[in-house]
């Protein structure tokens, strides 16, 4: 049963070839054996997982048919799980046990999924390498000296190494797509609002979006079908019902017009990534797609706008960590001293950097120059996409300018680290759906992801194209772990 | 765009953070270089451009105003760093 897709495993469970308990034990055994090297998980919950698996077996025996019945999944540790600690990889939440499930977790459980545990991330989802975790860095299953990407690095590595059948991540500036690209799995950030953010620990609320990391595109469609759709507990969730994503995969792609984003194929793109994605373009032409160049003239300003908007929202969202109601507390003689000591000792350097940047950008006298200006540039970026989508059905660009980099390579230079998200950030600013699909190995060793971007709410179209391309490429990606 | 050490100290106070002298120097350097980078936004002509705060342009949605049960106090207090009865304990706020 190794390295199989959710849909294949589901079939095997339904045919009773394997039991949910056997499947869960398979993953728990792999976690025990391989995770000491990879460190994809912060918390593993074997007892709860086995008891949920046995319950799934009872329901399978009774002929129940639920979309994820008996399938073991992992959850990024910034998504609340009732009774299971949710740390955000931060000292400040090290002992936090939520009294409720996030909507996505509630929906996974209702669909019969088995939760294996919580995966590592950059603290509060801030970072591009999972080196900013308070606890330990996660390693890339393809090369243990390299990072898995971030911030959903634990979730991506867990799927890539077959330490779960699928996982959830969150994507504020590329945190699902970039690690998916580095680890050779499918990572999908749906349209903003398609998936409820209730129970996702907020980083930058106007950009955050939960999405699946999976082995195949069809698996991503299946997970999205389960976790997506309107939620009255999140007022920013899209009120209309979602389409049938699995059904949408059957849509033909012949004649589709695909735009290659000119600004992404110039300076800064590594030759190894370029040559792998160009192979994928040839496959798309063979599928009957028409490729043409398009321009996003304001793309070069997206990173700067993001590094005002996201920290500004983060500085406000992270104001709640004051040592009073939950989390870590440091002692102080008075309230102010307690707040300052708690936050200074509880947050790591990257989180502090962003809180400082955000507080500065929102402070008196600077709001117009920074936050308002960045939000206006956000409008121009959104409009660039709208113009491009008048000409083409979908856009293509790499998920990251380079394959996975080495641990420690960028930790001393925040700006260099930020640049690794340059191709993913514009998508969050415009609220679009974006998917990273593995399209090959750079120099035969490290995975490369191609990003497919659609107009708002065209999640189904993105999935359909990626599904057809995946089938055309027919890659078998298995990291050299054992 | 240079930011002074004093400004960083002031922002740290607003953000309820404090830094050692060494960290203060490092943060001042790093924030200056990031602000230098974001200064490129000033190259963009944004006159007459409405800002985007929510990409989907959703307006507020309201649910029925119904009373419903919330979490029991015991569950909410379970994560408190310090508590007494049904209250969170904080250092004294009112001076005697």
Among candidate residues A75, A80, A19, the one with its CA nearest the CA of residue A50: A19
- Average pLDDT value for residue range A349-354: 96
- Average pLDDT value for residue range A269-285: 97
Check if the beta carbon of residue A442 is closer than 8 Å to that of residue A280: no
The partner residue sitting opposite B27, judged by closest CB among A326, A356, A378, is A356
pLDDT of residue A295: 97
Report chain B residues whose CB lies below 8 A from the CB of A359.
11, 14-15
Spatial distance between the Cα atoms of A240 and A362, rounded to a whole number of angstroms: 34
**For helices A373-391 and A302-317, angle between their N-to-C axes, nearest 10 degrees:** 130
- Average pLDDT value for residue range A166-175: 98
pLDDT band at A266 (very low <50, low <70, confident <90, very high): confident
pLDDT band at B1 (very low <50, low <70, confident <90, very high): low
Return the residue of B nearest to A192 by Cα: B56
- Average pLDDT value for residue range A17-41: 98
The partner residue sitting opposite A324, judged by closest CB among B56, B71, B90, is B90
Catalytic residues of A: 76, 151, 175
Whether A478 shows a pLDDT value over 70: the answer reads yes
Total of domains in chain B: 1
- Average pLDDT value for residue range A128-140: 98
**CB atoms A325 and B61 under 8 Å:** no
If you count residue pairs, one on A and one on B, with CB atoms under 8 Å apart, how many are there? 167
The CATH number of whichever domain residue B35 belongs to comes to 1.10.20
How high is the ipTM of this complex? 0.95
Check if the beta carbon of residue A128 is closer than 8 Å to that of residue A384: no
Residue B61 within a domain: no
A298 touches chain B (CB under 8 A): yes
Total of domains in chain A: 1
Average of per-residue pLDDT values in chain A: 97
Domain that holds residue A127: 1-482
SS3 helix, strand, coil % of chain B, rounded to 5?
Answer: 40, 5, 55
Residue B62 within a domain: no
Domain that holds residue B37: 5-41
Angle at A116 between CA A98 and CA A242, to 5 degrees: 75
**CB atoms B55 and A373 under 8 Å:** no
Chain centroid offset of residue A366 CA: 32
A245 touches chain B (CB under 8 A): no
Q: Which of A89-98, A412-421, B73-82 has the lowest mean pLDDT?
A: A412-421
Whether A1 shows a pLDDT value over 80: the answer reads no
Whether A90 shows a pLDDT value over 90: the answer reads yes
Residue A44, both tokens: 């593993």
**CB atoms B8 and A359 under 8 Å:** no
Best probe of the B interface among A357, A384, A427, A455, by most B CBs < 10 A, is A357
A380 touches chain B (CB under 8 A): yes
Q: Which of A133-137, A172-176, A353-357, A418-422 has the lowest mean pLDDT?
A: A418-422
pLDDT of residue A181: 98
Q: Looking up tokens 């078998």, which residue turns up?
A: A476
What letter does residue A446 receive in the DSSP assignment? Answer: E
B53 touches chain A (CB under 8 A): yes
Return the residue of A nearest to B89 by Cα: A324
Q: What is the pLDDT of residues B23-74, one digit of tens each?
A: 999 999 999 999 999 999 999 999 999 999 999 877 777 888 899 888 999 9
pLDDT of residue A122: 98
Q: What is the pLDDT of residues A95-121, one digit of tens each?
A: 999 999 999 999 999 999 999 999 999
Q: What is the pLDDT of residues A46-72, one digit of tens each?
A: 999 999 999 999 999 999 999 999 999
In terms of phi and psi (left: phi > 0; alpha: psi -120 to 50; beta: otherwise), the region of A443 is left
Q: Looking up tokens 């009957």, which residue turns up?
A: A288
Report chain A residues whose CB lies below 8 A from the CB of B56.
191-193, 236, 238, 431, 456
pLDDT of residue A276: 98
pLDDT of residue A21: 98
- Average pLDDT value for residue range B80-94: 93
Contacts with B, A 317-356, CB within 8 Å:
319, 322-329, 332-341, 343-344, 347, 352-353, 355-356
pLDDT of residue A365: 87
The partner residue sitting opposite A325, judged by closest CB among B31, B60, B80, is B80
Residue B26 within a domain: yes
Contacts with A, B 3-22, CB within 8 Å:
3, 7-8, 11-12, 14-19
A83 touches chain B (CB under 8 A): no
Whether B2 shows a pLDDT value over 80: the answer reads no
pLDDT-above-70 percentage for chain A: 100
Peptide bond into A415 cis (omega under 30): no
pTM above 0.95, yes or no: yes
Residue B21 within a domain: yes
pLDDT of residue A368: 87
**CB atoms A232 and B63 under 8 Å:** yes
Residue B30 within a domain: yes
Report chain A residues whose CB lies below 8 A from the CB of B44.
298, 301, 373, 376-377, 380
Please count the other Cβ atoms lying within 10 Å of the Cβ belonging to residue A285: 12
pLDDT of residue A221: 98
B38 touches chain A (CB under 8 A): yes
Q: How far is CA B9 from CA A210, A330, A360, B18, in A?
A: 35, 20, 11, 8
Residue A371, both tokens: 């936050």
The partner residue sitting opposite B54, judged by closest CB among A206, A337, A355, is A206
Check if the beta carbon of residue A154 is closer than 8 Å to that of residue A136: no
**CB atoms A380 and B37 under 8 Å:** no
Which residues have CB under 8 Å from A420's CB, separation 6+? A128, A129, A149, A178, A400, A401, A402, A405, A410
**CB atoms A373 and B41 under 8 Å:** yes
Residue B79 within a domain: no
């Amino acid at each position: 049963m190794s390295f199989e897709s959710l849909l294949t495993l589901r079939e095997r469970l339904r045919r009773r070839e394997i039991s949910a308990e056997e499947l869960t034990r398979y993953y728990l055994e792999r976690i025990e054996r391989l995770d000491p090297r990879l460190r994809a998980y912060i918390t593993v919950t074997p007892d709860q997982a086995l008891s949920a698996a046995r319950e799934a077996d009872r329901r399978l025996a009774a002929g129940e048919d639920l979309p994820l019945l008996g399938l073991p999944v992992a959850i990024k540790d910034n998504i609340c799980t009732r009774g299971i600690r949710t740390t955000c990889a931060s000292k400040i939440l090290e002992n936090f046990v939520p009294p409720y499930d996030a909507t996505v977790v509630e929906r996974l459980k209702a669909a019969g999924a088995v939760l294996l545990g919580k995966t590592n991330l950059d603290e509060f989802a801030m970072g591009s390498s999972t080196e900013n975790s308070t606890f330990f860095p996660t390693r890339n299953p393809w090369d243990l000296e390299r990072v898995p990407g971030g911030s959903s690095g634990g979730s991506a590595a867990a799927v890539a190494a077959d330490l779960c059948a699928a996982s959830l991540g969150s994507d504020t500036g590329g945190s699902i797509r970039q690690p998916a690209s580095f680890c050779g799995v499918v990572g999908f950030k749906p349209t903003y609002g398609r998936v409820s953010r209730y129970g996702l620990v907020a980083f930058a609320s106007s950009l955050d979006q939960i999405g699946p990391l999976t082995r195949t595109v069809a698996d991503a469609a299946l997970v999205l079908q389960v976790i997506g759709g309107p939620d009255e507990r999140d007022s920013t969730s899209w009120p209309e019902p979602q389409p049938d994503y699995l059904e949408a995969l059957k849509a033909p792609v012949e004649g589709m017009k695909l735009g290659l984003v000119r600004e992404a194929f110039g300076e800064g793109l590594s030759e190894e990534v370029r040559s792998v994605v160009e192979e994928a373009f040839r496959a798309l032409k063979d599928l009957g797609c028409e490729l043409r160049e398009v321009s996003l003239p304001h793309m070069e300003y997206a990173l700067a706008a993001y590094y005002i908007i996201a920290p500004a929202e983060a500085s406000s969202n992270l104001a709640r960590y004051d040592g009073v109601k939950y989390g870590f507390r440091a002692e102080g003689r008075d309230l102010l001293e307690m707040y300052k000591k708690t936050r200074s000792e509880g947050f790591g350097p990257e989180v502090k950097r962003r809180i400082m940047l955000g507080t500065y950008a929102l402070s008196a006298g600077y709001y117009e120059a920074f936050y308002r200006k960045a939000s206006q540039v956000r409008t121009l970026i959104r409009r660039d996409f709208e113009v491009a989508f008048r000409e083409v059905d979908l856009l293509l660009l790499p998920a990251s300018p380079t394959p996975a980099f080495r641990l420690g390579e960028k930790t001393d230079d925040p700006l260099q680290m930020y640049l690794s998200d340059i191709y993913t950030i514009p998508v969050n600013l415009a609220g679009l759906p974006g998917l990273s699909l593995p399209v090959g190995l750079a120099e035969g060793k490290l995975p490369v992801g191609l990003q497919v971007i659609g107009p708002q709410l065209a999640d189904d179209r993105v999935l359909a194209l990626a599904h057809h391309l995946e089938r055309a490429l027919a890659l078998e990606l298995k990291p050299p772990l054992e | 765009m240079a930011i002074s050490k004093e400004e960083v100290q002031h922002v740290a106070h607003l953000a309820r953070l404090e830094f050692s002298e060494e960290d203060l120097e490092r943060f001042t350097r790093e924030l200056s270089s990031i602000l230098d980078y974001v200064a490129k936004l000033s190259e963009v002509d944004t006159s007459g451009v409405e800002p985007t705060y929510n990409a989907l342009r959703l307006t507020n949605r309201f649910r029925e105003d119904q009373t419903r049960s919330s979490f029991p106090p015991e569950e909410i207090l379970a994560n408190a760093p310090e508590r007494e009865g049904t209250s969170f304990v904080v250092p004294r706020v009112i001076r005697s």
